[in-house]
Amino acid sequence: METVMSVRESISLPMPRRRVIGAYLEEARSECLRYMRAPGFMLPVMLFPAMFYLLFGVLMAKSNGADAARYLLASYGVFGVMSPGLFGFGVSLALERDGGLLTFKRVLPMPPGAYLLGKMLMAMAAAAVVILLLLVMALTLGHLTLSLTQAGALLFTGILGVLPFCALGMFVGTLIKGQGAPGMLQLIYLPMSFLSGLWMPLPMLPKLLQQIAPVWPSYHLDRLALAAVGLNEESLLPHVLMLIGFAVGFLLLAARRLRRFG
């Protein structure tokens, strides 16, 4: 009887902080290794925006001036950052729900947030790679002049700016089956990019589309990216608050769906 009681007491004891931190780090490491061993998924996510920028931001825009080159770098940087958040979270979560991996991870003795933190860190790392690729192409092939502060600000904006799209991808991943997730996310990704002014300046779009642009998180991230490269001098706080609101809102919706439906 005493042995049973001691076992129950040991099970009910909270996990030491060192083991909690270790669980988070191990889950993040395993998530990174898992995606590195699946280049067929991650390489298109990271290289597709780079190819778009090379074609439209470098080869076809050499004679448009420095401001146009900075605009294209910022906008295609946002376009690239959206992809790891939406697809890295949305597609993988939908597939793992279908395959039972998410259910399995829930019964493991690890902190409940470790799974999501691992995916979030992987998306942030992928976003950093995307921005760095675009910066290398802009500085070498595009001969764009950027200060170290501007380059660092754009990189920082991309790394943190992926988070609202992680939350959106997570929410979509709780709604759609694994096989349907890529198509549904494409229907969100591409129209959102166009309607936010990432492919062409908003003044070139119809007035109605200009007016509804602020409803998209990509619009607000684009304003921050433009400020990072010196093309936007308006107040940035409203855009930061909107992105935080998008991230928190979609995260809460996704968490509610996961609790109810797994």
Please write the tens of the pLDDT for every residue from 122-143.
Answer: 889 889 999 999 999 999 988 8
Report pLDDT for 74. Answer: 93
Report pLDDT for 10. Answer: 44
Report pLDDT for 8. Answer: 43
Report pLDDT for 62. Answer: 65
Q: Decide: helix, strand or coil at residue 107.
A: coil
Please, what is the Cα angle at 136 between 83 and 126, to 5 degrees? 30
CA atoms within 13 A on the CB side of 209: 15
Report pLDDT for 28. Answer: 73
Q: Classify residue 16 as exposed, middle or buried by CB count within 10 Å of its CB (0-12, 13-18, 19+).
A: exposed
Chunk the chain into consecutive blocks of 10 residues (it has 262) and report each block's average pLDDT, rounded to whole numbers. Answer: 43 63 74 72 79 82 75 93 88 77 66 77 90 93 90 95 94 84 89 90 88 94 95 92 96 84 60
Q: In whole angstroms, what is the distance from residue 225 CA to residue 104 CA?
A: 39
CA atoms within 13 A on the CB side of 198: 30
